Structure 1
Amino acid sequence: MSLTMVLLPVFVEVGLTFALLFWNKARAQASDAADEFGLPTLFYALIAIALPLRHADLVIVLLSWVFVVTRFVNAGLVSGAKDSRGLAWTASALVLLAMWLYFALKILLLL
């Protein structure tokens, strides 16, 4: 995978994180801030580890995009209807968990 293909979803997620930080600053609650920074930190860490180890393949890139899309859905729900927010957050958490499991198995099984 090219560096651009791997890092593009990371850059989009960084942009979303900063946009939510500044846009919601006046009305953000502590739980909203924790939701917006907890999962992305794990996402950034995964990409930062996968890149130098050359394990950022097509599966990682595709799951990265799915993760970023679910974060956008969660961000839209944070700004609007809070009732459905849990489902979007859970979806993004499960995608990120799948990414970490895939990455860990590739490393541990020497794939």
Structure 2
Amino acid sequence: MPWTSTHTGRWYTGAFFLVQDEQARPGGEVFDTLSVMGVDPQTGHYFARSFENHGFYRHYDVSAEGNSRTFFGEHERARIEFSEDNRKQLIVWEWKPQDQWLPLCDRTATRID
């Protein structure tokens, strides 16, 4: 189903963590997410933690390679490809309801100034 969302991000005080607020309206319903991203000081690995308005919490291990970011969770994963000018993202989400990964959704995000 098509949807529209707005993402805003800012560095938290100290610039160690990025805070992202997403307000989405899939099919006219409310789907809001607050995420905190950063680097685990003990392991040096990237992470993202996500909190949804439906009461769900997710933890993702994040890897970065070139213009790609991959989010690995227990039940979802995503690959994000950034355009060369960093104004567009192609996002592919998958989920694992049982024993295999299945397509969840594909999204295109465009930066609007």
Give the TM-score taking structure 2 as reference length: 0.22
Give the TM-score taking structure 1 as reference length: 0.22
The answer to which structure, 1 or 2, has the higher relative contact order (CA under 8 A, 6+ apart) is 1
More strand by share: 2
